[in-house]
Amino acid sequence: MAQQSIDAALITCNVNLIYTYGRVVSGYLYLPLNAPAHVFIKRPNNIEGEHIHPIRKPEQLPDLLKECGLPLPTKLMLEGDELSYTEYNRLAICFPEAEVLSCGSKLIRQARSVKTLWEIETFRRSGIAHAKAYEQIPSVYRAGMTDRQLSIEIERLMRLEGCLGIFRVFGQSMEIFMGSLLAGDNAATPSPYDFALGGEGLDPSLPGGANGTLLQPGQSFMVDMGGNFYGYMGDMSRVFSIGRLPEQAYTAHQICLEIQDAVTSMAKPGTVCEDMYNTAINIVEKAGLADNFMGMGQKAKFIGHGIGLEINEAPVIAPRMKQELEPGMVFALEPKIVLPGIGPVGIENSWVVTTEGVEKLTICKEEIIEL
Amino acid sequence: MAQQSIDAALITCNVNLIYTYGRVVSGYLYLPLNAPAHVFIKRPNNIEGEHIHPIRKPEQLPDLLKECGLPLPTKLMLEGDELSYTEYNRLAICFPEAEVLSCGSKLIRQARSVKTLWEIETFRRSGIAHAKAYEQIPSVYRAGMTDRQLSIEIERLMRLEGCLGIFRVFGQSMEIFMGSLLAGDNAATPSPYDFALGGEGLDPSLPGGANGTLLQPGQSFMVDMGGNFYGYMGDMSRVFSIGRLPEQAYTAHQICLEIQDAVTSMAKPGTVCEDMYNTAINIVEKAGLADNFMGMGQKAKFIGHGIGLEINEAPVIAPRMKQELEPGMVFALEPKIVLPGIGPVGIENSWVVTTEGVEKLTICKEEIIEL
């Protein structure tokens, strides 16, 4: 903010309020450059404290700021990528004397990409709970289940381990329920959403994920549930099979584990994201599986992504991404291969960048698990 | 559109794409005033058909429209309440010659508020599935459960009956997982979200709904799950108790049923929403329960709301709402009372406005159900 002579930020979107204030409220956090933040709350009406004030509508903000002894901003930053056009303009017009900048989302997302020790510890706890739910998956499988039926039992396991259920994702066109279970050829079905794999979904109003496929011997399925246990979106995928799969599935799965090893061995502060991506592509090309990597027909253009309060944060591990890893960044790495007639194989874990390398947050068997 | 001389709408938000195109895509539906719509799709890449075109980025839109033989718009409508400020401006700048209006969200929401026969039939099917899930609630209750544990079992019932899980709500600060189970005094806890009742929630990152309360004899709990079975958000609440409740709970519950009867008896095309609201208030005031109606301390300022692809559509049944009911409108009516030391009572059903009155869509026992 100081670099761009911004003297205040007005924050009102839920994830940014969680980040700056620790909880969701309906209201506004006003963050001056060199003074404590003030929070103006519409709802709930039972929060009191220093620098906490009730408010009915944003038009009261200038008067309330004056009452707090704060000068009105001359250069104010709003959350331009998250606020609706209408809401943005409503807030901007409250400060007619100020220059209003839309870069709030970008700057906060940049700050959010490097996690605090508390956030990292929260991710560690999430990873443990996430793994604990996945370990119970074999116990809820019954012969004759569809992808949808098994998904429902896994959702229940996740919830029983403490998952809050809600799946937060950046971008108005991105949405998903709790995650996905992709079985057999459904893993190759392109979807509108920019996740690693697609799936047809159960209804055209939500065309992603499980589509009612019967889970069958000789086919693989991948479980990729969002691990929001304490507000932070851990990410983790594991592959299962009913009985033994054709040999090429194990070979392809091994390639993905090899990619995970190679990419996480090079990952440390200063590692460039596109180099991590290229390392993966080199391995999969040598293995002759490039056409099947990260989807078929329609491919994901990344192998990993930052995670935080939302599932898709910075950095993105993708071509042409010059961003360097920094200590405290947390990301998911998800090399995945789709084999026609068999299904998806591969791996996804969540990782935190340490001072020397990376630490795995989601520790749980990584082989294909036979049911 | 014609009334305001708008010659085209550009639609890109998921619910509006479902409404106009029947499914979610990542892309743009271009709707000229007097010509067929064209759809420009980024993802998925496997949809073909007349008036369907691939696109990589919105900046291609003007050239693609010309290729389709369509004139560029002179007055273009965008979804100002739903698009982010950044995305809105990115789209607007693609049409430098056009006057760009932000009223797209409002006009589409107005159109969406009156349902087609197909949409009403979809709501009927949703209501049946929703009721079927609720009828099984007693079978999954076990003594000693918390609100969270029982909620998880109900979520599973809903999913097994076909609920897609995802809960779509209008407004960037509104969010909830699948719905809420509010037990005992937690029903009186104010939340940041503008739902009928609040609840503390399980984590400050999602402060609404169940909070881990033990389900106890002498207390009531209310189940209010979103019924998104086919894209449309049915809404329905029922009250349960462990054993018998104090007598005042049955009295208060009866008042809510009476309100439901009175309000739905007067509801027909032409009925004014505020009159419905005032009818409810008159009954609850006469009963001496106004302080407990629609929450305590912090109260909801409505007793019902339109439902559709989102849970909060027009019309809103609230004070000063002069809007009249029209045939085809679908709304939820939810008179609810919170009793300190006992919990929530009341009722919520979904209704469609017919030519003569209203038809109930969620048919299932309405008394307090003793477990």
pLDDT(B214) > 90: yes
A178 contacts B165? CB cut-off 8 A:
yes
Interatomic CA distance for residues B191 and B200, integer angstroms:
7
Tens of pLDDT, residue by residue over B241-266, are: 999 999 999 999 999 999 999 999 99
pLDDT(A15) > 90: yes
- The pLDDT score that the predictor gives to residue A179 is 98
A166 contacts B177? CB cut-off 8 A:
yes
**Mean pLDDT of the B184-199 span:** 97
Q: 């609920």: which residue's tokens?
A: B163
Question: Chain B residue with minimal CA distance to A199?
Answer: B44
Instruction: State the pLDDT confidence band at A172, using cuts at 50, 70 and 90.
Output: confident
Are B73 and B61 in contact, with CB atoms under 8 Å apart?
A: no
Residues of B in contact with A159 (CB under 8 A): 152, 155
- The pLDDT score that the predictor gives to residue A1 is 81
Q: Which two tokens stand for residue B369?
A: 């159900």
Of A105, A156, A298, the CB nearest to B156: A156
- The pLDDT score that the predictor gives to residue B220 is 98
Q: What is the DSSP string of B33-71?
A: TTS--EEEEEE-S----TTEEE-SSGGGHHHHHHHTTPP
The mean pLDDT value of chain B amounts to 97
Q: 């992808």: which residue's tokens?
A: A147
pLDDT(B318) > 90: yes
A164 contacts B177? CB cut-off 8 A:
yes
- The pLDDT score that the predictor gives to residue B334 is 98
| pTM of the shown model | 0.98
Instruction: State the pLDDT confidence band at B22, using cuts at 50, 70 and 90.
Output: very high
Q: Name the strands in the sheet holding A304-306, side by side, starting at the edge strand that comes first in the sequence.
A: A313-317, A304-306, A330-333, A349-353, A358-360
Tens of pLDDT, residue by residue over A252-269, are: 999 999 999 999 999 999
B212 lies within 8 A of chain A by CB: no
Instruction: State the pLDDT confidence band at B225, using cuts at 50, 70 and 90.
Output: very high
Closest approach of chain A CAs to the CA of B193, in angstroms? 7
- What is the 3-class SS of A165-200, one letter each residue? CCCCCCCCCCCCCCEEEEEHHHHHCCCCCCCCCCCC
- The pLDDT score that the predictor gives to residue B178 is 98
Instruction: State the pLDDT confidence band at A4, using cuts at 50, 70 and 90.
Output: confident
B202 contacts A23? CB cut-off 8 A:
no
Residues of A in contact with B12 (CB under 8 A): 173
Distances (CA, A) of B153 to B158, B190, B235: 9, 25, 18
Closest approach of chain A CAs to the CA of B301, in angstroms? 13
Tally Cβ neighbours within 10 Å of residue B337. Answer: 29
Are A273 and A322 in contact, with CB atoms under 8 Å apart?
A: yes
A265 lies within 8 A of chain B by CB: no
Indicate the angle between helix axes B85-92 and A85-92, nearest 10 degrees.
110
A91 lies within 8 A of chain B by CB: no
Closest approach of chain B CAs to the CA of A7, in angstroms? 21
**Mean pLDDT of the A217-224 span:** 98
Interatomic CA distance for residues B362 and B133, integer angstroms:
11
Question: What radius of gyration do chain A's Cα atoms show?
Answer: 22
Question: Chain A residue with minimal CA distance to B14?
Answer: A173
Of B159, B172, B230, the CB nearest to A13: B172
Scanning B283-302 for CB atoms below 8 A from A yields 297-298
Tens of pLDDT, residue by residue over A281-295, are: 999 999 999 999 999
pLDDT(A308) > 90: yes
- The pLDDT score that the predictor gives to residue B303 is 98
Q: What is the DSSP string of B287-354?
A: TT-GGGBT-SSS--S-SEEE-SSSSSEEEEE-TT--PBP-TTBEEEE--EEEETTTEEEE-BEEEEE-
Residues of B in contact with A155 (CB under 8 A): 155-156, 159, 165
- For chain A, which domains are there? 8-111 (3.40.350.10), 114-370 (3.90.230.10)
Closest approach of chain B CAs to the CA of A294, in angstroms? 14
Instruction: State the pLDDT confidence band at B312, using cuts at 50, 70 and 90.
Output: very high
- The pLDDT score that the predictor gives to residue A2 is 80
B198 contacts A44? CB cut-off 8 A:
yes
Q: What is the DSSP string of B132-188?
A: HHHHTHHHH--TT-BHHHHHHHHHHHHHHTT-------SSTT---SSEEEEEGGGGG
A136 lies within 8 A of chain B by CB: no
Instruction: State the pLDDT confidence band at A178, using cuts at 50, 70 and 90.
Output: very high
Question: Chain B residue with minimal CA distance to A47?
Answer: B190
- The pLDDT score that the predictor gives to residue B333 is 98
- The pLDDT score that the predictor gives to residue B4 is 85
Are B37 and B45 in contact, with CB atoms under 8 Å apart?
A: no
Question: Chain A residue with minimal CA distance to B145?
Answer: A160
Residue B144 one-letter amino acid? G
Scanning B178-197 for CB atoms below 8 A from A yields 178, 189-194
- The pLDDT score that the predictor gives to residue B74 is 96
Interatomic CA distance for residues B206 and B131, integer angstroms:
27
**Mean pLDDT of the B5-12 span:** 96
Of B84, B172, B205, the CB nearest to A18: B205
- The pLDDT score that the predictor gives to residue B172 is 87
Interatomic CA distance for residues B265 and B317, integer angstroms:
15
For chains A and B, CB pairs below 8 A equal 194
- The pLDDT score that the predictor gives to residue A3 is 84
